[in-house]
Structure 1
Amino acid sequence: MKNHLDDITKLMALGPTADSYAVQRRQTAHRIAIADAWQVQAGENILEIGCGQGDLSAVLADRVGSSGHVTGVDIASRDYGAPLTLGQAWDHLLNGPLASRLTVHFNTDLTNSLGTLADQHFDRIVMAHSLWYFESANALALMLNNLRAIGDFVDVAEWSLQPTALNQIGHLQAAMIQGLLYAIAPSDVANIRTLITPDTLTQIAHDHTWTYTPGQLIEDPDLDDARWEIATTNALLTELKLSTNLRDRVKPQLEAMHHNGTATLPTFTGRITF
């Protein structure tokens, strides 16, 4: 497993900091754990929604082998992201040995239309750490309804709002503050918008006569995501045009967040079957 993990990590575009390889290695290991939980098989044709910079895409492409394929779509443009943009990360990935197994589409919103994907059928549709980017649970339901035409189920993975350790509470607070700020002042700069949970997915499935089946919980507390979200939450107070009173009310929560640990929340997995 160690060599396998390192082989995939070496295919990824790395940021400019000295610890970028170690950071990427942790992210890749987490995606391998997700693929394991989903039981991804060789030869599958997979659609990944919210592919971002390709962290999971590379793991899936490695897993499906030369007879499989992974199509990544993201609502963002090529120039979105930092310290590397999505375009830079994907250009690097598509110049590597997994290129023939990968396709990517930027600026693609499947909530409104399937576009060029409408005439395809996928063995598996997946979403990992992209559920919280939806502007509402209804927007997610609309997209899932479209996806019924090109797949039989969607495997999901997202942070759980139920911490299993006290030092994960900082990550929990960051997520909840961002979700609340988006509800009060919706903005394109928001990183977290709607806190989709297993209960949300169960309700969506019930409303559409689908089935939501919970999977396993993945614990990776040493990931960097908690630190990133805490930093993002602080930045939002500067970027959003909030009233002075609202800023003053949020500040004590931000101060508490910094004292409640930087361990990453567990990740829940599950499947919506149409």
Structure 2
Amino acid sequence: MQYRTRLMVCAAALGVAGPLSAQETYTAGVEASFPPWAYVEQGEYKGIAIDAMKAIAEDQGIEVEFTDLPWPSLIPALAQGRIDLLVTGLNVTEDRAEALDFTIPWWENDDEILVPTDSEMNLVTALCCGATVGAQNGATQYNWLESELVENGDVGLSIRGYEDYVVAVEDMEAGRLDSVVTSTDTAEQFIANGRDIKIIGTIQRNQPQALAVQKGDPNDLLAKLNAGIVNIYDSGAWEEIVHEYKPEASIREIPTTMPDYVESYQDPIPGYDG
């Protein structure tokens, strides 16, 4: 279930000194159906990105208000200035870099091919020959399926787009899809939560993930976010947050790799002198 709720991260709750009026408040857009990065449990925002953003806000003395939006509307909302930053498991792509500015990357991800546990499909038949594959509308997985497997050489694949991956996996379990392609983190989370599904193949992507702000950084947020990311990494807070939600995860060095086309990652990088 999607929740259209808001949560104010108060200065008192974060332990930030100083009066509330002296702090800056920013609206952070999230997709709260994207575990382990962002989701709602008993009316409370949780996840790696949520907790990390709270820690960054505390470190930088700013106030953040989270707002839940469907994934397809998040990037347009940021580009149009209706939110100030995007906080979720956001993959960096060239198209997105033309519309947004990214922080230093804090994660890398691959994609996984999911099928029902009793399926006899393999990584080839799950993506060809009449298979119906689910992916999230606007996600890099959907775009990859469309551009690499349909437009560049039709292999008999049918793609079905979804507002979120929860519904896609439910449809697959109900027999309305043959497979689903999603990020490694999300796939592992579904399996850990007891879904009757399995991973049958990995699409090696090494996709960097980062926070994003409006193109041109009109709110001067990049320096604060970059400094906060480095500080929570150096303090060990980042590792604690990640392992709370993914105990088995290896902690990559921050910053991870970033493509050359990201303008906001050219020297000098705001708030980062590494």
* TM-score in same-fold range (> 0.5): no
Which structure has the higher relative contact order (CA within 8 Å, separation 6+)? 2
Structure having the higher helix fraction is: 1
